[in-house]
Amino acid sequence: MKSFKRLRKWLPVYSQEKDNSYLEAGGTKMAEGIKELKLDGVDAVVDANIKDCLGSGYCNIGCAYGKKLSALDNILPRAQRDFPGAVRIFSECLAEKVEARNGRATGVICRLSDGRSLRVAAKTVIVSGGALASSLLLQRSGLGGNLAGTGLSFNVGAPLTADFEEKLNSFDGLQITHSYRPAGEDQLILESWFNPVGTQALLMPGWFSDHFHNMRRYAHLSCIGVVVGSQANGRIRPGVPGTRHEARLRADGGRPAPAAEGNEARRPDPLRQRRPAGDADDLPIALLHLAGSGRRAR
């Protein structure tokens, strides 16, 4: 917990309730609904590593305005500033293999975008290519033994779309603003959520004329993402190099983890039983949102 607090300060993470004037309107509807239903879980405006947000609503596909304090916009420039001359950044540089001798990493073989090969000698190598690519890199390097590429878990999400009478313009603001964790849950979270028009069209419930009708209601809609942690039973293996099948991913992600499953059986979510504030109509939709994390092998 102490290190988590230090990390929040270091990133840094800000209270969006205090610091952001552009919260997505559907999030406020969600908060009103939770209050009206007297739900006993924990609801809050999110904290995030976002500062001076302009409310464009593109957060999920990256912030073009540098307001999301990502590694690219924040951490790498800070590293160069704080350790002058010690940090060199190679963009468009693919790590192909981690070299090791006697169980210790000794360097990384990389490929630059113009085809040149690069070898970086190192006493310590930190693999941080994301859950899937890190696993593949370890496997390509013959590191991590049988553990590499196993134990992958995911967030499985099913957004519930609601149609309000009034215009909300939910696209016009921070993309995820409110969260709600039902009491006693550690594998289930609800979050307010909306998308720019193109992405929302992909996720919009209904086909053909229904879809057309629903899109015409775009300005009136808002979503609540119901996010459940999957079991950590996913596995990724390299496929055939040079083909479209360079990786094979298997994940039984749809099955909720035991804690969420148990709660579902004995206490159905009250949000499903009762209508939220604001007389919204429910529209059904289901989606698998993969945001993986893998077991890291050393």
Ligand X SMILES: Cc1cc2nc3c(=O)[nH]c(=O)nc-3n(C[C@H](O)[C@H](O)[C@H](O)COP(=O)(O)OP(=O)(O)OC[C@H]3O[C@@H](n4cnc5c(N)ncnc54)[C@H](O)[C@@H]3O)c2cc1C
Question: Total residues at the site for ligand X (CB under 6 A)?
Answer: 10
Is 57 a binding residue for ligand SF4 by CB under 6 A? The answer is: yes
Q: Which of 34, 69, 95, 156 binds ligand X (CB under 6 A)?
A: 95
Is 71 a binding residue for ligand SF4 by CB under 6 A? The answer is: no
- Spatial separation of the C-alpha atoms in residues 258 and 281, rounded to whole Å: 31
Q: Are 50 and 14 in contact (CB under 8 A)?
A: yes
Nearest to 187 by CA among 232, 230, 225: 230
Phi/psi region, residue 62 (left: phi>0; alpha: psi -120 to 50; beta: rest), is left
- Spatial separation of the C-alpha atoms in residues 291 and 3, rounded to whole Å: 23
Here the tokens at position 25 are 């309107």
Q: Which residues, 148 to 177, sit near ligand X by CB under 6 A?
A: 176
- Spatial separation of the C-alpha atoms in residues 134 and 189, rounded to whole Å: 27
Beta carbon nearer to ligand X, 60 or 74: 60
Q: Residue 58 touches which of ligand SF4, ligand X, none (CB < 5 to 8 A by kind)?
A: ligand SF4
Q: Residue 170 touches which of ligand SF4, ligand X, none (CB < 5 to 8 A by kind)?
A: none
Beta carbon nearer to ligand X, 225 or 278: 225
Q: Residue 219 touches which of ligand X, ligand SF4, none (CB < 5 to 8 A by kind)?
A: none
Is 127 a binding residue for ligand X by CB under 6 A? The answer is: no
What is the contact mask toward ligand SF4 in residues 99 to 138, using x (rule: CB under 6 A)? ----------------------------------------
Q: Beta strand pairing status for 221-229 and 117-121?
A: unpaired
Helices marked H in 126-240 — which ranges?
130-140, 197-203, 208-216
Stretch that binds ligand SF4, among 52-60, 147-155, 241-249, 270-278 (CB under 6 A): 52-60
Find how far residue 108's CA is from the centre of its chain.
28
- Spatial separation of the C-alpha atoms in residues 155 and 254, rounded to whole Å: 9
Q: Which of 5, 32, 42, 65 binds ligand SF4 (CB under 6 A)?
A: 65
- Spatial separation of the C-alpha atoms in residues 289 and 283, rounded to whole Å: 18
Q: Residue 94 touches which of ligand X, ligand SF4, none (CB < 5 to 8 A by kind)?
A: ligand X
Residues in contact with ligand X by CB under 6 A are 60, 94-95, 128-130, 133, 137, 176, 291
